[in-house]
Amino acid sequence: MNERASVVIIGGGIIGTAIAFYLCKNGMNDVVVLEKNYLSSGATGRCGGGIRQQWSERMNIRLAMRSVKLFENFEEDVGMDIEYYQGGYLLLAYTDEEVGFFEKNVKMQQEEGLDVRILTKQEIERMFPFMNSEGVKLATYCPTDGHANPHLATFAYARAAERMGAKIYTHTEATGIDVANGQIIGVQTSKSYIKTSVVINAAGGYSREVGLMAGVELPTESYRHQIFVTEPLEHILDPLVISFENNFYIRQTKSGNFIMGQGDKDEPPSHNHNPSWRFLKEMTQKMPKFFPFLEDVRVLKHWAGLYNMSPDAQPIIDKADNVQDFYFAVGFSGHGFMLAPAVGEALAEWIVYGKPKKVDISNLKIDRFAKGVSREKNVV
């Protein structure tokens, strides 16, 4: 069976469904989303759900601030409660180097209009008495940061896009992208052939592989990142808490569970989704030192997902030079969920109107890597 679509989006995570929603909202309803498994089965459904604006690079700050504005109106605009909660983000500094780095970041973030401030150790102890503040020198705090449910957000975008005319094909894998004389002519799937002239690569951990289908080489690599969730407790933690020095993040869900994870500097690039006992042992031994109330709390579930990394840990949002109308929104480096509303809006506007209207993404083009880049440092 053959069909036609104005745009085919490869990837049914938060990025792909957000793009579909904003394309439809801007009048381009003949859109198809392809997902080889189920919606949010990849990186989106395996992430911690954090939404923060405290970054070390201005572009990430701007994208995140725009996303927060969209998240704040999400239920009204998209039509679903996604458990969005603005409990803030608390970033802890343990070294003199971090203190200087955080102070520099806060100054820049405030210049961008972000409501963020530095907390002294005494303020931290007063506001968060259940934390062990030993070794903490200061923290930065942004009250409009927060978190939401990634599954619900993805489903919300997908269902809203469908109501406006988009088609969402789950358990349907893109197996090839046909290009003739530098122009896309169609996408072969595991179930049918779709004639189209515009394709968007929103394939997350498989962004490089999808790029190669069209003859486009993307400088992205995927790395396993592990996470677990505990049994529910009485609500005690409003902000999502991060320590870059001690390599952890932790937040409490609406239902009371604690979600936490860490990075692994020794992790090789791969598509490995298998959780490890090493991670579980390290986290269960480490986290009660910082949050003593976790000492006897049981772990309910442990899983792994993929960080699709770019060379500077900032997203690559662009279209190919050698293939007309092959767009990509990839390399989010573990932060796709929190940036998705702004990215979906910007890319949709680019396709429909020729340029984004709400936020400038011109410095996220792929050619920046040939010119030299500044790397985003606020990554766990």
Which residue, 250, 251, 259, is CA-closest to 230?
259
My answer on whether 305 and 317 are in the same domain is: no
User: Do residues 352 and 21 touch, judged by C-beta distance below 8 A?
Assistant: no
Compute CA 177 distance to the chain's CA centroid, rounded to the nearest angstrom.
25
My answer on whether 240 and 350 are in the same domain is: no
Range of the domain at 92: 87-144+221-309
My answer on whether 305 and 176 are in the same domain is: no
Per-residue model confidence (pLDDT) at position 1: 60
My answer on whether 279 and 179 are in the same domain is: no
Phi, psi of 125, deg, nearest 5: -65, -35
Per-residue model confidence (pLDDT) at position 373: 78
Per-residue model confidence (pLDDT) at position 378: 86
Q: Which residues contact 209 (CB under 8 A, 6 or more apart)?
A: 203
My answer on whether 265 and 357 are in the same domain is: no
41: left (phi over 0), alpha (psi -120 to 50) or beta: alpha
User: Do residues 251 and 50 touch, judged by C-beta distance below 8 A?
Assistant: yes
- Between CA 245 and CA 134 the distance in angstroms is 13
My answer on whether 245 and 281 are in the same domain is: yes
Beta bridge partners of 279: none
Q: Which residues contact 79 (CB under 8 A, 6 or more apart)?
A: 156, 159, 160
In a domain, 343, yes or no: yes
pTM of the entire predicted model: 0.97
Which residue, 223, 191, 226, is CA-closest to 208?
223
- Between CA 251 and CA 238 the distance in angstroms is 8
Domain's final residue, options 309, 333, 359 = 309
My answer on whether 131 and 155 are in the same domain is: no
Alpha helices in 73-216 (DSSP H): 74-78, 96-111, 121-127, 150-163, 207-213
My answer on whether 228 and 323 are in the same domain is: no
Q: Report the CATH number at residue 157.
A: 3.50.50.60
What is the tally of structural domains in the chain?
2
In a domain, 58, yes or no: no
Domain's final residue, options 276, 309, 342 = 309
Q: What is the DSSP letter of 267?
A: P
User: Do residues 247 and 68 touch, judged by C-beta distance below 8 A?
Assistant: no
My answer on whether 123 and 267 are in the same domain is: yes
Beta strands in the chain (DSSP E): 2-4, 7-10, 31-34, 50-51, 89-93, 117-120, 138-142, 146-147, 167-169, 174-180, 183-189, 193-195, 199-201, 221-230, 240-243, 248-252, 258-262, 299-309, 316-319, 326-330
My answer on whether 35 and 115 are in the same domain is: no
My answer on whether 161 and 25 are in the same domain is: yes
In a domain, 118, yes or no: yes
Q: What is the DSSP letter of 283?
A: H
In a domain, 82, yes or no: no
pLDDT tens for each residue of the chain, 380 residues long? 679 999 999 999 999 999 999 999 999 999 999 999 999 999 999 999 999 999 999 999 999 999 999 999 999 999 999 999 999 999 999 999 999 999 999 999 999 999 999 999 999 999 999 999 999 999 999 999 999 999 999 999 999 999 999 999 999 999 999 999 999 999 999 999 999 999 999 999 999 999 999 999 999 999 999 999 999 999 999 999 999 999 999 999 999 999 999 999 899 999 999 999 999 999 999 999 999 999 999 999 999 999 999 999 999 999 999 999 999 999 999 999 999 999 999 999 999 999 999 999 999 999 999 988 788 988 98
My answer on whether 257 and 268 are in the same domain is: yes
Beta bridge partners of 360: none
Q: Report the CATH number at residue 298.
A: 3.30.9.10
Per-residue model confidence (pLDDT) at position 104: 97
